Structure 1
Amino acid sequence: MNTHRVDPADHELPPTQPLDITAYLPDPRDEASC
């Protein structure tokens, strides 16, 4: 897999920084509210 290339999947779940997915996902507070 070419990590240099920017694939659409990378934006959703970046393998290099799995913690970044939190930015894309809704705030944890919103989930608790539901």
Structure 2
Amino acid sequence: VVSSNVPPMTVVGGLPARVIRTITPGEETAYKPPRSL
């Protein structure tokens, strides 16, 4: 459950949701979303 806004380029997880890490501009290519779900 995410009970507040999540900043852009941020990875969250857990219950309750917590920030795991923030993706820097240089790391964007490693975190591309999948083509389909």
TM-score using structure 1 length: 0.21
Structure index of larger Rg: 1
Which one has a larger percent helix, Structure 1 or Structure 2?
A: 1
TM-score of the two chains, using structure 2 as the length reference? 0.21
